[in-house]
Structure formats: C-alpha cells, structure tokens
Amino acid sequence: MISNFKGKVAVLTGAGSGFGLECAKIGAQLGMKLVLVDVQKDALDAAQAQMQTLGAEVMARLVDVSNEGHMQALANDVQQTFGAPNFVFNNAGVGAGGLVWENTVADWEWLLGVNLWGVVHGVRLFTPMMLEAASKDPNFQGHIVNTASMAGLLTPPNMGIYNVTKHAVVALTETLYQDLKLVSDQISASVLCPYFVPTGISQSHRNRPSQLKADKPTKSQLIGQAMSDKAVGSGKVSAADVAKMVFDAIEKDHFYIYSHPKALGNVQHRMEAIVQGHNPPDPFKERPDIGDKLKADLRS
C-alpha cells in the first residue's frame, strides 16, 4: 500500500527483462528511485541505461538472488545509499519442466535457489528495514510483492519442480501478509500469480550457473520445454500489462494479482477436490486437447 510513489525507493530483482523491467519503467515514470537487480549483465546494463534515460536515479547490482552473501551485500548497499525501500519486488525466477522423478539434484537446487531462496532472502533482509523505518516515521509506506505463478495454485503435470517452488512462494507470501498485519499498518504484501505471459522465463536456462549444469535433457524435459516456449510465446497479456496490475495492487492493497482471472476456474476445481477429499482433478479439464497431446507425446 503506497499512495504516492514519487521519491520512493523500489528494489526489483529480475529487473533486466519481463515483469521486473516493466515495473522499473513504471517506477521511473512515477519518479521512484530504482535498485535494479539481475544476474545477466548485458540485460542489467541495458535496463540501467533505459531507466536513466527516463530520468530515474538508479543503482544497478549484478546479484545471484539465491546467494545469501550476494543478497546481504545488496541489502547493505540499499540501506547505505537510499535507506529502507518502499517497494520490494522479489521477482527473479527460472523455469524447468519434465517428469518429476527425472529431475536431477542440480535441477532442484537451481530452481529452489532462485525461485524460493531468492524470495526468502528478499523477505528476511528487507522487511526488518521497512519495519524499522515505519517505527520511526508514521508516514512511511511499504509494500512487498513476490512473484509466484498460477502454478503456485495448481499442479500441472510435467513441471513438478516449478510447481513446488511457486506453491512455496504463495504460502510464504500469504504468511508474510498475515505476519505484517500483526505488527504494522504501514507495510503490506501481495503475491503475483501470472499465467502464460511473454517474458524470458522459458529461456531462463541461459543464466543457469555452470556448477549446476544440466544433464542431457530427457524426452519429457524436451516436451516440457517445447510446450513452455509455445504457451509463453503466444500469450496475449503482456509483461507491461502485468506491471500495471502490480502497481494497481500496491495502491489498493490487493493481495492476489492475477494476469488471467479466467484460469481461476481450474483453481476452483482443485480446491473443491481438496475440501471434498476427491482425487486431484484433471488440470486440463478446460483444455483437454493439451492434456491429450501431452499424454500422446510422452507415451509415443
């Protein structure tokens, strides 16, 4: 919940592309001071130059969000340069598919590191800063947005690790929201649950660290990559559209941010099955052609 963004400080991870970059653009246009964080140097440099062209005061840092030391150094730099941030966007994320038993330990470590630990580090390092600022200034306003996914509310097959990380982010953020309401009226939180939006996430393996090198992809992983490329690339809702939704949610203190509300029908089917004790429903109930093709490809 931030009523006036001018002069406020925003920390955005994954700021070199996708939602992070588009939120940075809006922040710059609103007169915010920006801390841009990414692991890809060329994308980060381009984002920094673009935001400076828009007139924003910018601090850019090359950071692996899964790394505790990197994130601690980032938090220290933010505190010393700008003070407590008002908007923290824990947004950096990577994707991977495949049948869940075929994923390697390296696959698990990479996705858990970026998608979950990146958010954990952002929450544990910046929330205390914001609470301290709020205790000293009754006019301080802060908001934390964590990027999850519709995969954090569903369990689509052939993408198990991703589902696990995003379910964890939803649970973490819901708890963060409740915890904040216990101690402060000045800081709130939201969770972003996008569906298929054209961003760089389907090609996130470009930034996979060498120490977590992928094995030769299995058949299910190749199928999952192809499906992801097609679904993400054909998305009609843009990253810029989602960024506008994020800022609207911050202003209105809305917790759940959905890029595709129509996909909530699948979530409702899942929740009803949980409450009624039924077996998990078909995640492709509304698009059986997709499920039929995936099954046929895997069994061929």
Q: Does residue 156 share a domain with residue 109?
A: yes
Residue 214 has pLDDT above 70, yes or no: yes
Active-site annotation, residues: 162
Residue 285 in domain: yes
Residue 47 in domain: yes
Q: Which residue has the higher pLDDT, 110 or 211?
A: 110
Residue 232 has pLDDT above 80, yes or no: no
Q: Does residue 272 share a domain with residue 208?
A: no
**Which pLDDT score, from 0 to 100, does residue 12 have?**
98
pTM over 0.85: yes
**Which pLDDT score, from 0 to 100, does residue 286 have?**
74
Q: Does residue 137 share a domain with residue 254?
A: yes
Q: Which residue has the higher pLDDT, 158 or 228?
A: 158
Q: Does residue 269 share a domain with residue 237?
A: no
- What's the rounded Cα separation, in Å, for the pair 24 and 243? 9
Q: Does residue 272 share a domain with residue 250?
A: no
- What's the rounded Cα separation, in Å, for the pair 230 and 80? 44
Rounded average pLDDT over 255-260: 96
**Which pLDDT score, from 0 to 100, does residue 201 have?**
67
Residue 170 in domain: yes
User: What token pair was written down for 119?
Assistant: 């958010």
Task: Provide the pLDDT confidence category of residue 202 given band limits of 50, 70 and 90.
Answer: low
Residue 4 in domain: no
Rounded average pLDDT over 6-12: 98
Q: Does residue 62 share a domain with residue 176?
A: yes
**Which pLDDT score, from 0 to 100, does residue 177 have?**
98
Q: Does residue 295 share a domain with residue 243?
A: no
Q: Does residue 168 share a domain with residue 220?
A: yes
Domains of the chain: total: 2
Residue 125 in domain: yes
> Do the Cβ atoms of 197 and 232 come closer than 8 Å?
yes
Residue 180 in domain: yes
Buried b / exposed e along 256-276 (16+ C-beta atoms within 10 A): bbbbbeebbebeebbeeeeee
Q: Which residue has the higher pLDDT, 204 or 74?
A: 74
Q: Does residue 285 share a domain with residue 199?
A: no
Residue 1 in domain: no
Question: Is 215 buried (19+), middle (13-18) or exposed (0-12) by CB count in 10 A?
Answer: exposed
Q: Does residue 186 share a domain with residue 157?
A: yes
Q: Does residue 164 share a domain with residue 227?
A: yes
Q: Which domain holds residue 191?
A: 9-259
- What's the rounded Cα separation, in Å, for the pair 149 and 267? 12
Q: Does residue 185 share a domain with residue 272?
A: no
Task: Provide the pLDDT confidence category of residue 198 given band limits of 50, 70 and 90.
Answer: confident
User: What token pair was written down for 222?
Assistant: 């190749």
Tell me which of 119-133, 160-174, 180-194, 205-219 is least confident. Answer: 205-219
